Amino acid sequence: MEIKESPRLFATIFLRGKSFECKTGMTLRDSLIKLEINPETVLATRRGEMITDEEILKEGDVIKLIAVISGG
Amino acid sequence: MRQHKLALCKDHYLEWVPEQVERAIQKYHMFSHEDRILVAVSGGKDSLSLWDILWRLGYSVDGLYIGLGIGESSAEGLGYSDESERMARQFAEKHALNLHTVSIPQVYGESIPAIAERTHRGREKPCSVCGLTKRHVMNRIAREGGYQVLVTGHNLDDEAAILFSNTMNWIPGYLVRQGPVLEANRAGMVRKVKPLCRMYEREMAAYALLRGIEYVYEECPFVEGSNTIYYKEILNKLEFDRPGSKINFYLTYLQAKENGLFAPLADTELELLHNCPSCGQATTAPGECAFCRMMAKGKKP
């Protein structure tokens, strides 16, 4: 019997080596807030391209966050 | 960009950032196209982006990298300082720009953490030694090289965090002195300016990313738990609730200062400035400057 891979119902967000699974259909900003990550402190990329906070997360999205705050 | 109520595509964003920086340069009379400029580069996003912007704006600008000797390189990878230097060199080579490098361990015989350990300066962290050494070396190289102005990559978040700290601790001298331009009001001092003072840290990271500038992502290993990070977190909470809070805090402070609300008398150090008999740089301390005293401390005559 052929086993079909079920579609991923979550988007995955990576920050500093940690991964978080998020519901799809929400904006990135709302997802970050839910994860208690201040959107002011990160930038997000998907497939190497920068995306805005208002991007709606889709199934299977892999979002890499870049921390932007440095010690100075 | 909620703080500006503005959304831009990549191309327009990469035009907008240099325009904003140029505006700050003009507004605060930082320097002109006739000046020779030295930019201090750490290998991080702000200083490398600043060098890129000044180069794109047509300014005559060389770089200065100071190797601090932090983190050891091994077969698994470069240490923090070596990786930072690699980024600075890579940027300079790519754009055919002139980069001065000063290795603290080579010139002074010790790394920054080793100096901190020897002199017992700072509380278990070498940050105050690092700051003092960098200021000394930056000024020295700028003087020796005949540069009219020394440029640093301090962004709005850096400035707002410093201002917040100085306000929380009511340090009048620092409150009077802080600003986009620190004049060279004594022989031995070079004019220092901060062209990114109105640019959000997040805006600079976006600029580096969109311009394809490779920078060191890793943080200095000593930064964890620093006051600057703590104050930045607080200010970013404010910014999240009230977009524009950080820029408003900084710009209203500058306006208040311009309106004379901070008495110059509060800056008592200015009166005390004299030249260090050893290195010739300006200092408020009697006799030798803090750097020369630090370097002599605990060393056999």
Output the pLDDT for position B289.
87
Structure-model confidence comparison of residues B154 and B120, the more confident one:
B154
- Distance (Å, rounded) from C-alpha B223 to C-alpha B235? 18
**Contact state of A43 with B205 under an 8 Å Cβ cutoff:** yes
Q: Has residue B301 got a pLDDT over 70?
A: no
DSSP-derived 3-state class of residue A64? strand
For B242, name the nearest residue in chain A, comparing CA atoms only.
Answer: A40
Q: Which residue has the higher pLDDT, A10 or B248?
A: B248
- How far is residue B4 from each of residues B214, B242, B246, B285, measured CA to CA in Å? 27, 12, 12, 43
What per-residue string of b and e applies to B124-133 under the rule 16 or more CB within 10 Å gives b?
Answer: ebbbebbebb
pLDDT at B267 over 80: no
Q: Is A34 in the B-facing interface, judged by CB distances under 8 Å?
A: no
pLDDT of residue A4: 62
Q: What is the pLDDT of residues B148-199, one digit of tens each?
A: 999 999 999 999 999 999 999 988 888 888 999 999 877 788 999 999 999 9
Which one of A30-44, B115-129, B179-193 scores highest in mean pLDDT? A30-44
Cβ of B7 and A52 within 8 Å?
Answer: yes
Q: Average the pLDDT over B58-70 and give the result.
A: 96
Checking if the pLDDT of B14 tops 90, the result is yes
Give residues 169 to 188 of B whose Cβ lies within 8 Å of A: none
- In Å, how far are B18, B88, B296 from B36, measured between CA atoms? 19, 19, 33
Determine contact: B125 vs chain A, CB below 8 A.
no
CB B263 within 8 A of CB B101: no
Q: Identify the band that residue B268 occupies on the pLDDT scale cut at 50, 70 and 90.
A: low
Contacts of B186 (CB under 8 A, 6+ apart): B273, B274, B275, B282
Given a cut of 90, whether residue A40 has pLDDT beyond it is yes
Question: Inter-chain contact B236–A38, Cβ cutoff 8 Å?
Answer: yes
CA dihedral over A69, B164, B127, B67, signed as positive or negative:
positive
Q: Determine contact: A19 vs chain B, CB below 8 A.
A: no
pLDDT tens, B278-287? Answer: 888 888 778 8
Question: CB-based contact (8 Å) between A6 and chain B?
Answer: no
Q: What interface predicted TM-score (ipTM) does this complex get?
A: 0.87
Q: Which of B11, B203, B240, B245 to mutate to test the interface with A (most CBs of A within 10 A)?
A: B240
Whole-number pLDDT of residue A17 = 87
Q: What does the pLDDT average to over A8-23? A: 89
For each of the domains in chain B, give its residue range(s) and CATH number, in order of start: 10-264 (3.40.50.620), 271-301 (no CATH)
Residue B215 confidence (pLDDT) above 80: yes
> What pLDDT was estimated at residue B108?
92
B contact residues 78-117, partner A, Cβ 8 Å cutoff? none
Average pLDDT of the residues of chain B: 91
Confidence of residue A55 (pLDDT cuts 50, 70, 90): very high
Q: What residues in B contact A52, CB-CB < 8 Å?
A: 7
Kindly state the average pLDDT of the residues A23-32.
94
Instruction: Tally C-beta pairs within 8 A across A and B.
Output: 52
Confidence at residue B172, expressed as pLDDT on a 0 to 100 scale: 82
- pLDDT of residue A2 exceeding 70, the answer is no
- Residue B67: what pLDDT? 94
**A69 in B contact zone (CB under 8 Å):** yes
pLDDT for B38: 98
Q: Which two tokens stand for residue B99?
A: 């980069």
Subunit contact A70:B7, Cβ cutoff 8 A: no
Smallest CA–CA distance, residue A70 to chain B, in Å, is 7
pLDDT range class, residue B85, cuts 50, 70, 90: very high
